[in-house]
């Protein structure tokens, strides 16, 4: 139901309806921000990305052809802009804020085992996945994108989406096993 409403919003935005833009922004900007934040690791940059993404929507709403859902379109734009911003930023510019966003791998498995719950450990291992794996996990689990939609956002074949997700989950199991939790899979 919301997918249809999103497309209607885009129609209205294409007509220059600022209120429709506010509704679309309110509906999607937090998720777009979190997706960009996951890639960039810096809050200020992620906030800049949302502005750029939705300004593109304002300017290009008339070109939206509804071949994908609006959320997929937004995430695709956000990803392109985030990676462009990341390329502009040299590794030397990596500051404390970004460093703080990098998962802390200093804990030994024994230390990790001291975490109180399996859920907490699972979250820690999810955060320890590579950016490529974490990205596909976030797109599938959090952003609820289909195989086809992830394929569209990442620009990879659908079969690669499935196998990338599989290997991300496999890596997660390896991290958990290293931390002392054997899930019995794969």
Residue from 75, 73, 57 nearest 17 by CA: 57
Q: What is the DSSP string of 9-51?
A: HHHHHHTT-HHHHHHHHHHHHHHHHHHHHHHH--HHHHHHHHH
95 binds other proteins (CB under 8 A): no
Cβ(83)–Cβ(39) below 8 Å: yes
184 binds other proteins (CB under 8 A): yes
Query: 33-60: string of b/e by CB count within 10 Å (b at 16+)?
Result: bebbbbbbbbeebbebbbebbbebbbee
Of residues 51 and 109, the one with the C-beta less far from other proteins: 51
In the stretch 127-166, what mask flags binding to other proteins with x, by CB under 8 A? x---------xx-xxx-xxxx-x------------xx-xx
Q: How far is the CB of 92 from other proteins (least distance, A)?
A: 26
Of residues 92 and 157, the one with the C-beta less far from other proteins: 157
Task: Choose one: 74-82, 85-93, 104-112, 116-124; the region binding other proteins (CB under 8 A).
Answer: 116-124
Q: What does the DSSP 8-state code read for residue 179?
A: T
Cβ(43)–Cβ(82) below 8 Å: no
Q: Count, in order, helices (H) and strands (E) of the chain.
A: 10, 0
26 binds other proteins (CB under 8 A): yes
In the stretch 52-91, what mask flags binding to other proteins with x, by CB under 8 A? --xx--xx--x-----------------------------
Residues that bind other proteins (CB under 8 A): 1, 4-5, 7-9, 11-12, 14-23, 25-27, 29-30, 33-34, 37-38, 43, 46-48, 50-51, 54-55, 58-59, 62, 118-119, 122-123, 126-127, 137-138, 140-142, 144-147, 149, 162-163, 165-166, 169, 172, 183-186
């Amino acid at each position: 139901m919301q997918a249809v409403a999103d497309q209607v919003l885009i129609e209205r935005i294409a007509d220059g309806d600022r209120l429709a833009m506010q509704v679309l922004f309110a509906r999607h900007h937090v998720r777009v921000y979190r997706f960009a934040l996951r890639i960039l690791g810096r809050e200020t940059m992620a906030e800049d990305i949302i502005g750029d993404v939705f300004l593109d929507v304002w300017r290009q709403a008339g070109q939206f052809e509804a071949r994908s859902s609006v959320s997929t379109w937004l995430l695709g734009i956000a990803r392109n802009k985030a990676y462009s911003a990341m390329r502009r930023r040299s590794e030397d510019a990596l500051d404390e804020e970004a460093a703080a966003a990098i998962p802390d791998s200093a804990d030994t498995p024994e230390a990790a085992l001291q975490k109180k719950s399996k859920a907490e450990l699972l979250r820690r291992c999810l955060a320890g996945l590579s950016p490529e794996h974490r990205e596909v996990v976030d797109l599938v689990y959090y952003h609820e994108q289909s195989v086809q939609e992830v394929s569209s956002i990442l620009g990879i074949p659908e079969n690669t989406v499935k196998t990338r997700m599989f290997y991300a989950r496999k890596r997660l199991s390896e991290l958990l096993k290293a931390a002392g939790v054997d899930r019995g899979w794969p």
